[in-house]
Amino acid sequence: MLKDYSEISLKPEDFEGKVDFVRIFGRSGPVHVEVGSGKGIFLLNQGKAQPEINFLGIEWAGRYYRYAVDRIGRWGLTNVRIIRTDAAGFVAGSVPDSSVDCFHVYFPDPWPKKRHHKRRFLCPANVEHLVRCLKTAGQIRIATDHADYFEQIQRVIADQSDKLEEIDFIRPAGAEEGEWAGTNFERKYLKDQRPIYTLAVRKI
Sign of the four-CA dihedral 185, 191, 197, 198: positive
Helices (H), the chain: 21-25, 41-49, 62-75, 87-94, 124-133, 147-158, 184-191
Q: Mention every residue, 6+ apart, whose C-beta is less than 8 A from residue 2.
A: 66, 67, 69, 70
Task: Report the amino acid identity of residue 183.
Answer: T
Residues 133 and 102: their CA atoms lie apart, in Å, by 9
Catalytic residue (choose from 109, 159, 162, 168): 109
42 torsion bin: left (phi>0), alpha (psi -120 to 50), beta (else): alpha
Would you say 53 and 32 are in contact if contact means Cβ atoms under 8 Å apart? yes
3-class state of residue 179 by DSSP:
coil
Would you say 197 and 154 are in contact if contact means Cβ atoms under 8 Å apart? no
Tell me which residue of 105, 101, 46 sits closest to 77, measured CA to CA.
Answer: 46
The verdict on whether 109 is a catalytic residue reads: yes
Which residues are known catalytic residues?
109
